[in-house]
Structure 1
Amino acid sequence: MGQESQPRWLTDEEQRVWRAYLRASRLVEDHLDRRLQREAGMPHLYYGLLVQLSEAPRRGIRMTDLARQAKITRPRLSHAVTRLEKLGWVRRESCYGDKRGQNAVLTEEGREVLEKAAPGHVAAVRAAVFDNLTPEQIQQLGGICRAMEAGLDREGADLPWLR
């Protein structure tokens, strides 16, 4: 076997950084999820979907595009949108010119729920992330995240939400 088939094991420092990243990202996600559940009655995933819809033209996005943007599979998105429909926060509409396609559209009630949840969510993000960093660390974190995102975008064909 050639050199190329050998794994590039993480160094001790890379392993420490990787594990710190995993712990921090899980803690942040758990913190945001618990706070949104307590204060707004929704998981962080649903909040993110409502935000995406609120920022879309006419507050609607094609379901396949929403799944891609949210980085979730279409079945998981369909389940989430069904729950959001039952709450009255989202409705589905047929796509113009495509009988098989559907758009998810933010309702007025969904917009109001999002507006009420946003201040608490921003406070939770600030407390969990930005209040713990210096301005220099915030810039570094932004650069690190953009670099990671760019690297993963190049490998996008292997990601499940694109199927």
Structure 2
Amino acid sequence: MSEVAGYTGSTLSRLSNVFGRLEKCGWAQRSADPSDGRYPLAALTEEWQETVRAAAPIQVEEVRRLVLDPLTHGQQRQPDAVAQCILRALNAPCRTDWTLPVGTFLDSRK
């Protein structure tokens, strides 16, 4: 879990809280590390995988609508230039002060 917290730029405490909400949804589970029981192992469940599979077509449609459809035919024929713009945006400093909208399943204010 510490490793995941590092990858996400989060604290272990915050990640643990988020993971607890995922567990309540049936999307994640923790178990003790068999080589050292002091450390928890985290895993996403089959139910989570099914949810992601079901959401994939919707996500693809949204990416098409939000990313590809606004491009002109000329822009669509210039994927290198478009990719460079996207990569510049991805390399921009990452915000760490964001909060989830109230009412989402990860919202801790419930």
| TM norm structure 2 | 0.63
Matched residues in 2 for 1:131 and 1:70: separation?
30
**Gap change, CA 1:125 and 1:96, over 3 Å in 2:** farther
What residue number does 1:17 align with?
A: none
**How many residues end up aligned between the 2 structures?**
88
> Structure 2 stretches of 5 or more lacking a match?
97-110
Flag the structure with more relative contact order, 1 or 2, with Cα contacts below 8 A and sequence separation at least 6.
1
Tell me the secondary structure at the aligned position of residue 10 of structure 2. coil
Is residue 144 from structure 1 mapped to residue 88 from structure 2 by the alignment?
yes
> Structure 1 stretches of 5 or more lacking a match?
1-62, 153-158
Matched residues in 2 for 1:109 and 1:130: separation?
30
Matched residues in 1 for 2:63 and 2:37: separation?
40
What residue number does 1:24 align with?
A: none
Is residue 66 from structure 1 mapped to residue 28 from structure 2 by the alignment?
no
Runs of 4+ in 1 over 4 A off after TM superposition: none
1:122 CA drift (Å): 2.5
Is residue 91 from structure 1 mapped to residue 21 from structure 2 by the alignment?
no
Tell me the secondary structure at the aligned position of residue 129 of structure 1. helix
Percent identity reads 36
More helix by percentage: 1
| TM norm structure 1 | 0.45
RMSD: 2.4
